[in-house]
Structure 1
Amino acid sequence: MEEKRYKGVIFDFNGTLFWDSKMHLEAWREYSKNLRGTAFTDEEMREYMFGRTNEDIVKYLIGKQPDKQLVLKCQNEKEAIYRQMCADDKENVKLAKGAVEFLNYLCENDIPHTIATMSEEVNVKFFIKEFGLEKWFDVSKI
């Protein structure tokens, strides 16, 4: 039987190597509380947040159409809350089960691999530092 040779592996980061959906939800709750005095309810999240853009979410939170600068400001503030929550929760903020072993396997077998992510650069730098990603990845190519 012919052995398969892989050309490489491309990982998404959030939700694949790092299960962080809960952290993002909690960061939005906290941001909502800071902005309007009340956290998102589960119902509000389902109706006004899930599957929506940041612009849509900010529009709901402030009750009017935001300009691009305000959306970016709100997004950056929410992401800062998210990063702080991650930094404060060392016990639960870890790579997904089996990820370390698989990444070690890829390195030991010279199988090229990288991360493709839509995360902002500030978050990528945070993840590199928080998880020591330079052990497995050429971080200049993330």
Structure 2
Amino acid sequence: MKDTLKPGLKHAGTLKVLPSMTVPNVSAELTAFADMPPVFATAMMVGFIEATCIECIANHLGDGEHTVGTHINISHTAATPAGMGLRAEVSLTGVERRMLTFKVEAFDDVGLIGKGSHHRAVIDLDRFMAKVEEKARG
């Protein structure tokens, strides 16, 4: 990690809600979602927020480092239809060794749709993947 990885870093991301991001389209394998209202899926909001956090700190990691999500605590308080714009605002509020804490908020064109916190861990990508491969082998 670079010494620039400190609390106070902020980033905002934007996105347009596509039909593929609505609840019925989350996954063909999760059939319980098939007849749900066609609004922006909570799963997609979480992914959008995580991506914005990754972008926030990308230039502050060392070679071979990445981050993985470890905890998410986010409310999703308003429905957003397909076609509407989104904005995620994240700020790094804590760095404790390799653990990062973010304050996160998501908005659509009308207002706040979700907020909470997200934790990510800084990893050595090669070491991480070696453990994943070992686990896959049993």
Q: Same fold (TM over 0.5)?
A: no
Higher relative helix content: 1
Query: How high is the TM-score relative to the length of structure 2?
Result: 0.25
- Which structure is richer in relative contact order (CA contacts within 8 A, separation 6 or more)? 1
TM-score, length-scaled by structure 1: 0.25
Q: More strand per residue: 1 or 2? A: 2
